[in-house]
Amino acid sequence: MALSVLRLSHRISRDKRITTHLALTARAFGASKFFYTGDSDSNLENSSEYVTKEWGGNFTISFVDNPTNFIKEWKRKEGIVVHLTMYGIELSEQLKLLRSRINDYILVVVGGSKVPGHIFQLADYNIAIGHQPHSEVAALAVFLDNLSDCEARKHKHSNAKTKIVPTEKGKKTKNVQESSD
Ligand SMILES: C[S@@+](CC[C@H](N)C(=O)[O-])C[C@H]1O[C@@H](n2cnc3c(N)ncnc32)[C@H](O)[C@@H]1O
């Protein structure tokens, strides 16, 4: 599975937490790359990189200057582009088709403030997670979780310094020196 996420129109003043949550969600649900456009934000990049160092895995975050060129280039290299929008086709209707393309390079695009019309045209698939407005974080989590049939979130990240020891009550973690999984 080669999944990447592109977050459009990050605004440092308004989106600090939500874009951080998008990156965390992308990582936890199986994406390996996170791209964002809008304001370049070193704090966002540092906090995402810190989480990956602590909790493991191969996950990168990069700023993209021009989303239109980036998406066109992605398609030129034969990657596919899935734009999450409440105006699209319900995920359940397209899930089988999207799962059949799981080994292609999939770029999942999520919006912030108003998404320009040409993004809808450029996307190979405009997919709705229900036809009600909600949040890009919810849309991304539901999309990735369904795409992997709930498997990605159970993945054990390599090179984690900290791991959770699941418990019925309380919070338990262990420090890991070296990990082979
Ligand atoms: C809070 S919404 C704002 C949308 C913006 N007002 C517009 O007109 O495009 C931010 C993003 O969340 C995602 N989103 C929200 N509701 C969704 C839904 N029902 N299905 C899929 N994606 C959704 C989309 O990626 C959207 O661009």
pLDDT at 178: 57
| Other CB atoms within 10 Å distance of the CB of residue 77 | 8
Whole-number Å distance, alpha carbon 114 to ligand 1 midpoint, is 9
CA pair distance 174, 164, nearest whole angstrom = 6
Confidence of residue 179 (pLDDT cuts 50, 70, 90): very low
Confidence of residue 162 (pLDDT cuts 50, 70, 90): very high
**Whole-model pTM over 0.85:** yes
Which of 19, 84, 120 most suits a substitution to test ligand 1, by most atoms within 8 Å of the C-beta? 84
Residue closest by Cα to atom 25 of ligand 1: 110
| Other CB atoms within 10 Å distance of the CB of residue 51 | 18
On the CB side of 45, CA atoms within 13 Å amount to 12
Reported as a single tens digit per residue, the pLDDT across 11-67 is 999 999 999 999 999 999 999 999 999 999 999 999 999 999 999 999 999 999 999
The fraction of the chain above a pLDDT of 70, given in percent, is: 97
The fraction of the chain above a pLDDT of 90, given in percent, is: 93
**Which pair of tokens denotes residue 98?**
């999207």
Please work out whether the CB of residue 115 comes within 6 Å of at least one atom of ligand 1. Answer: yes
Residue closest by Cα to atom 23 of ligand 1: 85
Whole-number Å distance, alpha carbon 134 to ligand 1 midpoint, is 6
Confidence of residue 146 (pLDDT cuts 50, 70, 90): very high
Domains of the chain in start order, with CATH, are 2-154 (3.40.1280.10)
CA pair distance 32, 70, nearest whole angstrom = 17
Residue closest by Cα to atom 26 of ligand 1: 111
